[in-house]
């Protein structure tokens, strides 16, 4: 969630819902927040989700992630559960402002997983306890303004149907859900943020073929890797064990660092979940696209 950017003003639909914060939901929500929210909203100085400058995304401008602690003034303490659900799905804040494309919108994640994220954000976890730390207003760059101007970055429609969880008995389908709808791995690992098809991810140019321009925390330009099963330019020669090790620990088969900021190792995934992602990637058409690695 990011601070207000003055682009569009539209009415947020009121969702009358109160999430039942069960221990199971809070635990699942913390797992998801660790993989989804923490990378952008965690501030090392405060040790909380008070937001920070996203130096790894200069192509979008000088961007600051928002304070999403319980604080009622600069955080989300006054937001209802329905406000949060509507915002995470569409990008529209309670005040009607739309947050542009640097804020991922979870349009396909299951209702249960989304409820779990809400339960965690409402919990007494130290990451989200009220904190008055205030981030400066973001200063959107040309790309952000251009995407909004041409209507390529607009609010997503709020779903009108229940979004179920995946079929956990089907390994590849579970992996598809995690990779596309829960963690949105394709968003970084396809050709370009600007060209991704978020409604139908598989139609994104260069789907999982890498080459998306990104930046490390040090400001150096890097490119996302090709993680299709192409044997020459992708991970077609990796075993399942190789993939699980790389995804969870950040080490590739040749023992060089595999994962660099802004991506982090997904240590919170179980081996079964990582294995399911590998099974799904084996069903994705291979893309021949060599991405040069720089260390």
Give first-to-last CA distance, the chain, whole Å: 31
Tokens for 139?
Answer: 């200063």
* Strand, helix or coil for residue 221: strand
pLDDT tens digits in sequence order for the chain, 295 residues long: 444 444 456 667 778 899 999 999 999 999 999 999 998 999 999 999 999 998 877 777 888 999 999 999 999 999 999 999 999 999 999 998 888 767 889 999 999 999 999 999 999 999 999 999 999 988 887 767 766 665 555 788 999 999 999 999 999 999 999 999 999 999 999 998 888 999 999 999 999 999 998 887 677 788 899 999 999 999 999 999 999 999 999 888 875 666 777 778 999 999 999 999 999 999 999 999 999 876 5
The CATH number corresponding to 23-149 among 3.30.300, 1.10.10, 1.10.287, 1.10.760 equals 1.10.760
CA distance 293 to 295: 7
Does the pTM of the predicted model rise above 0.85? yes
Question: In a 3-state reduction of DSSP, which class is residue 244?
Answer: helix
Q: Are 109 and 28 in contact (CB under 8 A)?
A: no
Closest to 194 (Cα-Cα) out of 263, 101, 262, 108: 101
Distance CA 167, CA 182 (A): 14
What are the extents of the domains in the chain? 23-149, 171-281
């Amino acid at each position: 969630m990011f601070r207000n950017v003055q682009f569009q003003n539209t009415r947020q639909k009121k969702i009358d819902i109160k999430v039942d914060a069960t221990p199971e939901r809070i635990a699942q929500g913390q797992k998801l927040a660790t993989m989804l929210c923490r990378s952008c909203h965690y501030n090392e100085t405060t040790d909380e989700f008070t937001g920070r400058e996203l130096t790894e995304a200069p192509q979008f401008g000088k961007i600051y992630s928002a304070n999403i602690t319980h604080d009622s003034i600069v955080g989300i303490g006054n937001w209802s559960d329905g406000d949060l659900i509507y915002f995470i799905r569409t990008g529209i804040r309670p005040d009607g402002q739309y947050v542009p494309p640097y804020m991922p919108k979870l349009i396909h994640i299951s209702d249960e997983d989304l409820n779990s994220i809400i339960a965690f954000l409402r919990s007494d976890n130290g990451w989200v306890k009220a904190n008055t730390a205030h981030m400066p207003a973001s200063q959107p760059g040309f790309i952000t303004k251009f995407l909004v101007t041409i209507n390529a970055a607009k609010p997503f429609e709020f779903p009108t149907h229940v979004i179920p969880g995946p079929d956990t008995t089907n390994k590849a389908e579970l992996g598809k859900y995690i990779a596309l709808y829960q963690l949105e791995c394709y968003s970084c690992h396809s050709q370009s943020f600007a060209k991704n098809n978020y409604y139908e991810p598989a139609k994104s140019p260069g789907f999982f073929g890498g080459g998306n321009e990104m930046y490390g925390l040090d400001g150096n330009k890097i490119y996302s890797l090709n993680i299709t099963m192409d044997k020459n330019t992708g991970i077609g020669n990796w075993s399942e064990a190789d993939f699980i090790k790389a995804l969870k620990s950040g080490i590739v088969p040749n023992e060089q660092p595999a994962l660099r900021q802004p991506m982090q190792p997904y240590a919170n995934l179980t081996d079964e979940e990582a294995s399911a992602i590998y099974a799904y990637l084996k069903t994705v058409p291979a893309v021949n696209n060599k991405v040069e690695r720089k260390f």
